[in-house]
Amino acid sequence: MTRRAAPYVVAVGGAIAITLVLELFASYVSATSLSALYLLLVLWLGARWGRGAAVTGSVAAFLLYDFFFVPPVGTFSVRGPAEFLELAVLLAVALVTSQLAASQRLAQATAEALARDSRALYDLATSMLKANDITPALTLVCRSAVHLAAVARFAVVADGALLAGSPLSGDELKQAAWSHDHAQPIGIAIKDGAVITMKTRGTAPGLAYLPLQSGVVVTELDPEKSDGAELRMLAAHIALADLLLDRRRASIETERARGLEASDRLKAAILSSMSHELKSPIAALRAGLTALAAPKAGLEPEQRELLGDLDRQATRLDRMVGDLLALSRLEAGVGMETEPHSFAEVVGASVREMRPQLKGHELTVRIPDDLPPVDVDDTQLGRVVTNLLENAVDWTPADGRIEIGALSVGDHVEAWVENDGPAIAPKDFDRVFDTFWSGRASGTGLGLAIARRVVEAHGGTIRVENRRRGPRFTFTLPLAHVAVGQ
Amino acid sequence: MSGRVLVVDDEVEMQRALRTGLQYHEFDVHAVGTGEEAVREAAAWRPDVILLDLGLPGMDGFATLRALRPATRAAVIVVSVMPGEKDKVRALDAGADDYVVKPFGTEELVARIRAVLRRQADVTSGEPVVRTGDLEIDLARRAVAVAGKPVHLTPTEYELLRYLALHAGKPVSHTTLLRQVWGEYAVGDKYNTRYVVAQIRKKLGDDPANPRYIVNEPGVGYRLEA
């Protein structure tokens, strides 16, 4: 007895068995009332085996009942509408029951499949989350996709290289990179969390590229197998791959930031200790030299003059060391803190600091009251202004004029420092900003180089030109995008 | 004017140079090398001014500053090599009266010491009028005038100017100004103080690019010229 025949054998056998029971008890109870047993059989057959068995059972039951119990007994004669009704009822019961049972069985099968899928995805997700490294987790996802989503291939590409999954050809890698750069899916797309397939030209049928936030999924669908359940599985695997790729990028970025921060801290610490080591001896020198210059020290005028010379040299050395440290700080890229600032205020602080040197020169400030705020590190910008003013003081003859000004031009502020004095040869327009280029004995040759670095660190430019009365240094500064008082 | 100056610096050369230089300018000078000694000496000798180097071995400058504050009413001038703006603000907010950047000349240092001593004398005498150039701030009458002409300030503007006037010559940090003018739990930032200072300057006729009264201390805050 094969498995397929079993339901029919049971159906016919069941009907015969019930007929025998009816025969045995017919003398005690009316056969008509016992015939409900057939109904029971058909119900059971429908629920247990489905439509075929139930229909077979109902036909067999009808024929047996008709033959043995319906007069004339011993013949298959159907007479009158009542008997047809009986047959019809039996058949209807058979069909309805089997239908109900069948849809229930289907629902159960679907539920079981879903449970199996969820279980598989859950296992995958947990093992994936447990993995410390992203790549093994991605490999797991790729393998699982081939297994559960019934795709021929599943691979994950990021930064132009295969991260995990099925091997890809060079062209496929190129195609994946293109898909990512242009945010252009090929073959499949994700819509409302579900995978939809799209017709493509030019690529192999079934081959699909889906760009994600931080990488690309390349997969080859099997058109035979890709029904709703498989596509749902595929969507789930793509979502997992997406999650992992984001995690990978986040961890790369964190790592990079941590590295930069550590090296910044180290550089700042080295520079700070260098400052201390280089400046402390100069501090003691200057304190000592200037102490002896006091009238009460009782030194001769020539001796005091000598002390003055020495202190000026010490001061120059101090400036040189300060400039060198400032330059190393700029080159090391130790953090600038930009904020909206009033340019006039920054100039004010520098002018105040330079007041002793500016004495004997005529300073003009041309900054409009409504000049918008600039987005700068104010101490660094102060250094630019101070250095340019120092440069101007050094080159301006006694009673000469120094002008500092600013204007809002388009999306930036253009500021300048101009002085009376000798013109700069056009061939030196660029060289004046070079490190250690100096046309005079008193400077360190670093002031203008520092000014350029600071301006450039703010995203601006600096240049020099000759105006009618002397050179003008012009630099640009970015505008800030908030309101601040002048 | 003379006074007692306590020098706190771990370098012997610096101690000797400062002692000599300040003595030539009529100051009484004691010098110590550590924070612990500074706290002891401040209580025992009662100096008028303490020159405190921030880079001390052991108990560092900031810890010393905190320990000094309850022990003495002396003005504290913080001394440091290339201090960052954050260090300056921290020192001022912790109770320092001024800061001087190393290296410095004796003349400059003496000028700073005299300024804090003068300020102390003003506070003790309870002089109700603060003058700087043409600017006159009458703290008793809450009146402000430039060259004799009255200037009308809003209550917030006056409070800010009053606080700067009470500490004339001393840099006051943005955070301190915010707290003093807007209250302990002030919600706001430097833009508030900058905006109010801009308004005050406008009314006083002070040029931010070449200020006569309120000076901008980059990265720190503001100071009223003494």
**Element of type H or E holding A360:** none
The three-state secondary structure class of A209 is strand
Decide if A304 touches B, using CB distance below 8 A. Answer: no
ipTM above 0.95, yes or no: no
Beta bridge partners of B5: B29, B49
Testing the interface with A: which of B10, B24, B27 to mutate, by most A Cβ within 10 A? B24
- Indicate yes or no: CB of A284 within 8 angstroms of CB of B107: no
Alpha helices (H) along A213-342: 228-292, 301-332
d(CA A192, CA A290): 79
CB burial of A216-233 (b: ≥16 within 10 Å; e: otherwise) equals bbbbbbeeeebeebbbbb
Residue A419 φ then ψ, to 5°: -140, 160
Flag residues of chain A having pLDDT under 70. 1-3, 31-34, 79, 131, 200-203, 223-227, 335, 437-444, 482-486
CA separation, residue B193 to residues A60, A200, A248 (Å): 101, 63, 44
Mean pLDDT of B144-164: 92
- Whether A334 has its CB under 8 Å from any CB of chain B: the answer is no
Is residue A398 exposed (0-12), middle (13-18) or buried (19+ Cβ within 10 Å)?
Answer: exposed
Task: Tokens 């001022």: give the residue.
Answer: B92
Strands across the sheet containing B98-102: B28-32, B4-8, B49-53, B75-81, B98-102
Closest-CA residue of chain A to B81: A276
DSSP state of B220: T
Task: Sort out which chain A residues have CB atoms less than 8 A from B107's CB and list them.
Answer: 290
Average pLDDT over every residue of B195-219: 90
Question: Is B215 in CB contact (< 8 Å) with chain A?
Answer: yes
Burial group, residue A281, by CB count within 10 angstroms (0-12, 13-18, 19+)? middle
- Confidence at residue B110, expressed as pLDDT on a 0 to 100 scale: 94
Surface of A (265-294) touching B: CB under 8 A: 272, 275-276, 279-280, 282-288, 290-294
Closest CA to B160 of B187, B123, B195: B195
Length of chain A: 486
Rounded Cα distance between A344 and A326, Å, is 23
Could you give the strand order of the β-sheet that contains A153-158, starting from the edge strand earlier in sequence?
A: A161-165, A153-158, A215-220, A207-212
DSSP, res A422: P
Residue A270 Cα to chain centre, angstroms: 34
The three-class DSSP label of residue A161 is: strand
Q: How far is B25 from chain A (nearest CA, A)?
A: 8
Residue numbers in A near B20 (CB within 8 A) = 288, 291-292, 297
**Residues on chain B touching A389 (C-beta within 8 angstroms):** none
- Give residue A484's pLDDT: 45
- Cβ of B194 within 8 Å of Cβ of A348? The answer is no
Q: Which residue in B103, B107, B216 is closest to A345 by CB distance?
A: B216
Both tokens of A304, joined, read 């005091």
Helices (H), chain B: 12-24, 35-45, 61-71, 85-93, 106-125, 155-166, 174-182, 190-204
- Both tokens of B224, joined, read 């009223």
Cα–Cα nearest to A52, from A87, A110, A60: A60
| Residue A388 to residues A259, A351, A380, B222, Cα–Cα distance (Å) | 36, 11, 13, 24
How far apart are the CA of B101 and the nearest CA of chain A, in angstroms?
9
How high is the mean pLDDT of chain B? 89
Q: Do A279 and B82 touch (CB under 8 A)?
A: yes
* Edge-to-edge strand ranges of the sheet holding B214-217: B172-173, B221-224, B214-217
**Chain A residue closest to B195 (CA)?**
A485
Contacts of A275 in chain B (CB under 8 A): 81-82
Element (H, E) at A212: strand A207-212
Amino acid (one-letter) located at B56: L
Tokens for A410, please give them: 């388009």
Contact B144, B150 (CB under 8 A): yes
- CB neighbour class for B78 (10 Å; exposed up to 12, middle 13-18, buried from 19): buried
CA closest to A482 among chain B residues: B191
**B81, B105, B197 member nearest A275 (Cβ):** B81
CB contacts < 8 A, A to B, total 127
User: Is B20 at the interface with chain A, CB within 8 A?
Assistant: yes
B218, A382: Cβ pair inside 8 Å? yes
Q: What angle do CA A22, A26, A28 make, to 5 degrees?
A: 130
Q: Which of A267, A272, A290, A339 to mutate to test the interface with B (most CBs of B within 10 A)?
A: A290
Asked if B194 and A342 come within 8 Å (Cβ–Cβ), the reply is yes
Helices (H), A333-469: 343-353, 355-358, 378-395, 447-457
| Contact present, A436 and A373 (Cβ < 8 Å) | no
Is any Cβ of chain A less than 8 angstroms from the Cβ of B204? Answer: no
Provide mean pLDDT across the span B213-220.
89
Task: Check CB contact of B120 with chain A, cutoff 8 Å.
Answer: no
Q: How far apart are CA B173 and CA A122, in angstroms?
A: 57
Please give the Cα distance from A255 to A199 (Å, whole number).
Answer: 41
Which candidate, A3, A1, A14, places its Cα nearest to that of A59?
A14
* Residue from the list A275, A276, A286 with its beta carbon closest to the beta carbon of B105: A286
- A349 closest CA partner among B48, B52, B208, B201: B208
SS3 call for A154: strand
Inter-chain touch A294–B199, beta carbons under 8 Å: no
If you compute the radius of gyration of chain B from its CA atoms, what whole number of angstroms results? Answer: 18
Question: Interior CA angle at A173 toward A172 and A176, to 5°?
Answer: 85
Residues contacting residue A424 through CB under 8 Å, at least 6 positions apart:
A432, A464, A466, A471
Enumerate residues 55 to 94 of chain B having a beta carbon within 8 A of any beta carbon in chain A. Answer: 55, 81-82, 85
Q: Running DSSP on this structure, what letter comes out for residue A479?
A: B
CA distance A193 to A236: 8
Tokens of B83: 């201090």
Number of CB atoms found within 10 A of residue A439's CB: 15
Interface membership of A91 toward B (CB under 8 Å): no
Q: What does the alpha-carbon distance between residue A22 and residue A20 come to, in Å, rounded to a whole number?
A: 5
Torsion of CA A354, A356, A361, A366, to 10 degrees: 30
Q: Sort residue A187 into left (φ over 0), alpha (ψ -120 to 50) or beta.
A: left
What 8-state DSSP symbol labels residue A273?
H
Cβ contacts of B11 on chain A, cutoff 8 Å: 280, 284
3-class SS at A115?
helix
Query: Is pLDDT above 70 for B186?
Result: no
C-beta atoms of A284 and B11 within 8 A: yes
Alpha helices in A149-227 (DSSP H): 170-181
